[in-house]
């Protein structure tokens, strides 16, 4: 048994978790202090997003499509840009600790909002299975050069083991989205 290797991997895991927490704390600082990375986006008609999520990802849209404007745009980005964004929109586990009426839906909503507010990218909320039961988290639709690419989900609450990681939709970790909304 490689005790030194296991201990080193455990310490690396702890340091990575601390890094995610530190990046989450950045969101709590004054916006003028933080310089957010610029990312490339391309506008896509929202109806196209609805069709892609349903037909390709098998996700149910939680709102009635008739309430969405035909001119509404969604702004996806590349996987490289999502990897830059997600640590900044992973929120401190202590953020809502003292407010009992805040839960996973609130983390997911705030994280999606931070994507738009700080990066101009459309993050989506999703609901589905997780190792902790039915849960709300986020969806990163990946698009590059006019083509939809492999989509990913992420847990926005830094208190979770996989927080700040982009997981593929077909991940083996038990995070399987069922429905979504903007």
pLDDT top residue among 32 and 133: 133
Q: What percent of the chain has pLDDT over 70?
A: 84
Measured between alpha carbons, how far is residue 29 from residues 61, 89, 115, 125, 156 in Å? Answer: 34, 13, 16, 24, 18
Beta strands 124-129 and 147-148, pairing class: unpaired
CA-CA distance, 47 to 52, in Å (whole number)?
Answer: 9
Residues 6 or more apart in contact with residue 121 via CB below 8 angstroms:
39, 41, 75, 76, 77, 81, 82, 85, 115
Q: Among all chains, which residue has been given the structure tokens 């900044």?
A: 88
Q: Provide mean pLDDT across the span 93-118.
A: 83
Q: Kindly report the CA angle at 99 between 98 and 101, in degrees rounded to 5?
A: 150
pLDDT for res 50: 86
pLDDT for res 141: 92
pLDDT for res 181: 86
pLDDT for 21-51, tens place per residue?
777 666 665 455 667 778 888 888 888 888 8
In the chain, where are the structural domains located? Answer: 3-181
Measured between alpha carbons, how far is residue 89 from residues 6, 31, 38, 47, 170 in Å? Answer: 30, 13, 14, 26, 22
pLDDT for res 146: 87
pLDDT top residue among 90 and 93: 90
């Amino acid at each position: 048994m490689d005790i030194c290797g296991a201990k080193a991997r455990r310490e690396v895991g702890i340091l990575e978790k601390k890094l995610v927490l530190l990046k989450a704390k950045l969101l709590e600082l004054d916006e003028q202090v933080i310089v957010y990375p610029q990312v490339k986006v391309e506008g896509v008609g929202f109806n196209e997003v609805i069709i892609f999520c349903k037909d390709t990802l098998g996700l149910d849209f939680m709102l009635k499509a008739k309430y969405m404007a035909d001119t509404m745009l969604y702004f996806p980005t590349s996987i490289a840009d999502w990897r830059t964004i997600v640590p900044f929109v992973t929120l401190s586990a202590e953020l809502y600790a003292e407010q009992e009426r805040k839960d996973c839906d609130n983390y997911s909503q705030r994280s999606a909002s931070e994507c738009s507010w700080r990066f101009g990218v459309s993050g989506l909320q999703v609901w589905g299975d997780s190792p902790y039961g039915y849960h709300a988290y986020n969806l990163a639709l990946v698009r590059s050069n006019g083509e939809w690419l492999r989509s990913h989900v992420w847990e926005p609450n830094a208190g979770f083991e996989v927080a700040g990681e982009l997981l593929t939709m077909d991940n083996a970790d038990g995070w399987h989205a069922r429905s979504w909304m903007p």
